[in-house]
Amino acid sequence: MHYRSLSHHLCAVTLTLGLGLGGHAVAADTDPLKIGLILPMTGQQSSTGRQIDAAVKLYMAQNHPTINGRKVEVIVKDDAGTPDTTRRLAQELVVNDKVVALAGFGITPSAMATAPIATQSKTPMVVMAAATSAITEASPFVIRTSFTLPQVSVSIAEWAAKNNIKKVVTLVSDYGPGIDAEKYFANRMVLNGGQVIDKLRTPLRAPDFAPVLQKVRDAAPEALFVFLPSGQGALFMKQFAERGLDKAGIRLIATGDVTDDDQLNDMGDVALGVVTSHHYSANHKSAANQKFVEAFKKANNGMRPNFMSVGGYDGIRVIVEGLKASKGQGGEALLAGMKGQLFESPRGPVLIDGQTRDIVQDVYIRKVERVGGELHNVEFDVQKAVKDPGKTK
Ligand code: VNL
């Protein structure tokens, strides 16, 4: 015992001397453990940045984590949803700030651009928002706490089949998650004897839905299936109503990204009755969620948390618990501490699959209803413990 504490003491002295002489930023073991959180705080995906930032701040304020006497510090950087900027910021956070983990990643291209840095520097990278299946395969250091589009798109296709919807058109954002959603939704429709009569795509940047909605009208399917990234739902719903599609008897079904809790309450009656599948609703009935929603609203002027917030809240939890398990070590030790975590999230029970490093979670079927004067995604069916069906290995 005595010997141990003596060597500890000597070690601290050496570190102090090292700092004084060389002027190198050698991390002493009282320095804070830093986490680099890269988010789109400005630009088209800024609602995602705002939600995740608020959720991470809430977790930190509720838990004040310290590990072996070291504080945990979150450094927030704005990438404006530009992948080149994400990669540059990640590089700086690793090299200059010596972060133990990278986190955030509002869109798939940002996550993909950063994955090689995670691999080269052996820095765990927690994806809190982006949801293309392949992201976890881009680096062995990626852990995901959001969801995947294949995970949520199959369930809504199953619901459609059970509800006698046979002829559909799909409309997705033309990049990773949209292509995943289109493929997994369409394949399951066809498997169930349905027909996909057209597959439409809109650009990620500055989409205009009017031309594709005209095509949908002309094709007259029984239902239109939609995936759009968080933040585009309100504009889409407005144009859907303006084109009279809600009155034309074309049923709207989607992933929950479209009836995003961040915007849903402002969408108006056009959203009523829209059926979606997703992993989180602010209306989810559990004590853990009620507590989360109340605390989140209280800390953020009444803002309602959406699925991005929950990805952030669970993501920072996974990092902090991982650091506890690794006793503050980063790299492989932190990665090991994050794998296999099983806990109750505001969304329901979740598991960080040790093999795939992806999240296993319940997927709910929900319908937009008015609850106490506000629009909500009301869950009415659930598929338990869904793994990402997009994994090839
Ligand atoms: C992505 C997927 C982004 C789902 C989203 O919102 C979303 C992505 C910004 O992987 O880029 O709702």
Over residues 186-223, the pLDDT tens digits come to: 999 999 999 999 999 999 999 999 999 999 999 999 99
Q: Which atom of ligand 1 is nearest to the CA of 257?
A: 12
Q: Provide the pLDDT confidence category of residue 392 given band limits of 50, 70 and 90.
A: low
pLDDT tens-digit readout, 121-130: 999 999 999 9
The DSSP call for residue 285 is -
Query: pLDDT at residue 262 above 60?
Result: yes
Element of type H or E holding 365: strand 359-371
Work out the average pLDDT over 279-293. 98
CB 345 within 8 A of CB 291: no
What's the first-to-final CA gap in the chain, in angstroms?
47
The reply to whether ligand 1 has any atom less than 6 angstroms from the CB of 261 is no
Question: DSSP alpha helices (H): ranges in the chain?
Answer: 2-22, 46-63, 83-95, 108-121, 149-162, 176-191, 210-219, 233-242, 287-299, 307-326, 331-338
Half-sphere exposure of 393 (CA within 13 A, CB side): 9
Q: How far apart are CA 230 and CA 195, in angstroms?
A: 27
Give distance in angstroms: CA of 308 to centre of ligand 1: 9
Asked if the model's pLDDT at residue 12 lies above 70, the reply is no
pTM as predicted: 0.93
Backbone angles phi, psi at 385, to 5 degrees: 45, 60
C-alpha to C-alpha distances, 347 to 137, 264, 292, 333, nearest whole angstrom: 25, 18, 10, 27
Contacts of residue 355, Cβ cutoff 8 Å, sequence gap at least 6:
none
Contact criterion met (CB below 8 Å) for 243 and 210: yes
User: Ligand 1: which of 52, 108, 145 to mutate, judged by most atoms within 8 Å of the beta carbon?
Assistant: 108
Tell me if 108 CB under 6 Å of ligand 1.
yes
Contact between residue 179 and residue 156 where contact means Cβ atoms under 8 Å apart: no
Q: Is 148 in the pocket of ligand 1 (CB under 6 A)?
A: no
Q: How confident is the model at residue 29 (pLDDT cuts 50, 70, 90)?
A: confident
Q: What is the distance in A from the centroid of ligand 1 to the CA of 216?
A: 23
109-125 residues labelled b (16+ CB within 10 A) or e (exposed): bbbbbbbebbeebebbb
The answer to whether 182 and 172 are in contact (CB under 8 A) is yes
Query: How far does residue 170's CA lie from ligand 1's centre (Å)?
Result: 17
- By residue count, the chain amounts to 393
Amino acid occupying residue 126:
V
Higher pLDDT, 313 or 5: 313
State in Å: Cα 237 to ligand 1 middle: 18
Q: Is 230 in the pocket of ligand 1 (CB under 6 A)?
A: yes
27 pLDDT above the threshold of 90: no
Ligand 1 centre and the CA of 147: distance in Å? 10
Q: What pLDDT does residue 246 have?
A: 86
One DSSP character per residue, 13-80 reads HHHHHHHHHH------TTSPEEEEEEE--SSTTHHHHHHHHHHHHHHHHHH--EETTEEEEEEEEE-T
What pLDDT shows up at residue 1? 34
Mean pLDDT within 11-26: 41
- Give the orientation angle of helix 307-326 with respect to helix 287-299, to 10 degrees: 100
177 lines ligand 1 (CB under 6 A): yes
Structure tokens at 364: 């709910």
Residue 22 has pLDDT above 90, yes or no: no
pLDDT at 228 over 50: yes
* Inter-CA distances, 79 with 63, 85, 88, 178, Å: 27, 5, 9, 22
* 8 Å CB contact between 319 and 104: no
Q: Using 50, 70 and 90 to split pLDDT, how confident is the model at 8?
A: very low
Is residue 156 within 8 Å of residue 162, measured between CB atoms? no
Q: Which atom of ligand 1 is nearest to the CA of 40?
A: 9
Mean pLDDT of the chain: 93
